[in-house]
């Protein structure tokens, strides 16, 4: 854990892009709208090495945020500063989208070999890392859905990128496969990588994540070190944290709706109570109706 929470609301005093470092990913006041409707709304976060889980209800903006990190979703306003290489260029990013369109007719090894050539990766090592060595010669269409998901994780980790973004890596997997998917992601973190994973599997977040970002209606409801958040909310599990933070958000929305002057910061101060200066690792913003 660094001095500041690795996944947190970005403080006003620091320009996120100036604050960019080789191993940090900065999301700076990022808004994305579709048809004028914001699906991510003024999101500011800093991601540092470790496993950060992005959680939240269906449609809360998790995939959009992960797409923003991977560079496939462009901002309407705001920006993302990806990790910077020593020569000032961008470092590569590994990305597992929600749907992976592997081309039929190629084996698992051939599929990874194609991607491996682009990033100087080792397809056999990548297959081994997700436990798919025995399936290397099977056509991708003959792999189970779970095995295809694992192949997607292996593809995202090819070439050892410093930032790995996995959108629901455990989706559709049985419990054993889910555990394997998360363990693979968590193992990757030991090399000082930044791994960001969206998921609805809160038990796996408890078991493997260092930090958590919870989105609600396109806004950051709560973000920071998982242990610290569980302490703060006096809960033992991420599932309980999810419930507790969700309750807070509902309250904030009611306040904001009733009195526009009581927007995010004011509502947060109220929640912090007298004597708290509001300078917390976790920034909870108000949630507006869309
Ligand atoms: N390309 C798009 N065009 C229009 N609306 C979109 C587009 N992409 C996402 N949205 C909308 O943005 C909102 C957030 O979607 P997103 O997929 O980011 O949510 P999510 O939290 O990942 O959901 P889930 O948990 O169901 O995967 C949804 O209401 C979705 O319909």
Alpha carbon nearest to ligand 1 atom 18, residue: 61
Q: Are 222 and 214 in contact (CB under 8 A)?
A: yes
What b/e readout covers 200-224, taking b as 16+ CB neighbours within 10 angstroms? ebbebbbebbbbbbbbbbbbbbbbb
Structure confidence at residue 289 (pLDDT): 26
Residue 133's pLDDT is 95
For 68-102, letters b (16+ CB in 10 Å) and e give bbbeebebeebebbbbbeeeeeeebbbbbbeebeb
- Kindly list the protein residues whose Cβ atom lies closer than 6 A to any atom of ligand 1: 34, 39, 56, 58-64
77-109 residue pLDDT tens:
999 988 776 666 566 889 999 888 789 999 999
Residue 213 lies in a domain: no
Distance 63 CA to ligand 1 centre (A): 7
For ligand 1, atom 24, which residue shows the shortest CA distance? 58
Q: Kindly report, residue by residue over 192-240, the tens digit of the pLDDT.
A: 789 999 999 999 999 999 999 999 999 999 999 999 999 999 999 999 9
CA-215 nearest atom, ligand 1: 21
Residue 146 lies in a domain: yes
Query: Is the separation of the CB atoms in 195 and 50 below 8 Å?
Result: yes
Q: Ligand 1 pocket test: which of 31, 33, 62 has the largest number of ligand atoms within 8 Å of its C-beta?
A: 62
pLDDT at residue 89, as a whole number: 59
Contact between 242 and 57 under an 8 Å Cβ cutoff? The reply is no
Spacing, Cα 35 to ligand 1 middle (Å)? 13
Q: Whose CA is nearest to atom 9 of ligand 1?
A: 64
Å from CA of 67 to ligand 1 middle? 11
The label of the residue with tokens 């290489």 reads 85
CA of 64 to the centre of ligand 1 (A): 6
Atom of ligand 1 nearest to the CA of 168: 27
13 CA from centroid of ligand 1 (Å): 31
Tell me how far apart the alpha carbons of residues 83 and 158 are, in angstroms, rounded to a whole number: 17
In sequence order, what DSSP letters do the residues of 118-146 get, joined into one string?
Answer: HHT--HHHHHHHTT-GGGTTSBGGGS-HH
- Write out the two tokens for 121: 């990766």
* 122 within some domain: yes
Residue given tokens 């100036």 in the structure block: 18
Query: How many whole angstroms separate alpha carbon 228 and alpha carbon 101?
Result: 38
**98 Cα nearest atom in ligand 1:** 27
Ligand 1 centre from 233 Cα, in Å? 28
In a domain, residue 17? The reply is no
Residue 110 lies in a domain: yes
B/e letters for 110-140, b = 16+ CB within 10 Å, e = fewer, are: ebbbebbeeeebebeebbebbbbeebbeeeb
Q: Is residue 124 part of a domain?
A: yes
Residue 269 has pLDDT above 70, yes or no: no
Q: Please state the domain count of the chain.
A: 1
Q: Nearest C-alpha to atom 26 of ligand 1 is from which residue?
A: 58
Q: So what's the pLDDT on residue 190? A: 74
Kindly state whether residue 111 falls inside one of the protein's structural domains.
Answer: yes
Residue nearest to atom 27 of ligand 1 (CA): 58
Q: Tally the residues of the chain.
A: 290
Residue nearest to atom 1 of ligand 1 (CA): 34
Give strand pairing partners of 46: 26
Assessment of whether the complete model's pTM goes beyond 0.90: no
Q: Is 71 in a helix, a strand, or coil?
A: coil
User: Regarding predicted confidence, which is higher, 14 or 96?
Assistant: 96
SS3 content of the chain, % helix, strand, coil (to 5): 35, 20, 40
Band of residue 125 on the pLDDT scale cut at 50, 70, 90: very high
Q: What is the ipTM of this complex?
A: 0.97
Classify residue 173 by its DSSP letter. Answer: -
Domain limits for position 145: 102-161
The answer to whether position 116 is within a domain reads yes
């Amino acid at each position: 854990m660094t001095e500041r929470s690795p996944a947190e609301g970005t403080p006003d005093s620091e320009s996120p892009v100036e604050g960019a470092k080789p191993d940090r990913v900065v999301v700076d006041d990022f808004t994305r709208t579709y048809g004028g409707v914001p699906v991510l709304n003024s999101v500011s976060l800093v991601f540092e090495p470790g496993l950060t889980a992005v959680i939240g209800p269906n449609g809360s903006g998790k995939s959009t945020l992960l797409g923003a990190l991977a560079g496939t979703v462009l901002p309407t306003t705001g920006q993302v500063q990806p990790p910077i290489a020593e020569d000032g260029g961008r470092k590569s990013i590994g990305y597992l989208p929600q749907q992976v369109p592997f081309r039929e007719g190629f084996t698992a090894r051939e599929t990874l070999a194609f991607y491996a050539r682009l990033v100087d990766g080792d397809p056999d090592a990548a297959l081994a890392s997700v436990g798919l060595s025995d399936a290397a010669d099977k056509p991708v269409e003959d792999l189970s859905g779970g095995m295809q998901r694992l192949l997607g994780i292996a593809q995202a980790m090819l070439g050892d990128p410093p930032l790995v973004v996995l959108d629901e890596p455990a989706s559709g997997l049985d419990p054993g496969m889910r555990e394997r998917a998360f363990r693979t992601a968590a193992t990757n973190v030991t090399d000082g990588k930044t791994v960001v994973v969206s998921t609805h599997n809160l038990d796996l977040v408890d078991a493997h994540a260092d930090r958590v970002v919870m989105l609600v209606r396109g806004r950051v409801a709560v973000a920071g070190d998982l242990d610290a958040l569980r302490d703060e909310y006096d809960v033992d599990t991420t599932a309980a944290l999810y419930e507790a933070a969700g309750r807070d958000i509902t309250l904030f929305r009611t306040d904001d709706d009733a009195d526009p002057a009581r927007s995010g910061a004011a509502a947060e101060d109220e929640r912090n109570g007298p004597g708290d200066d509001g300078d917390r690792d976790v920034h909870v913003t108000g949630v507006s109706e869309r």
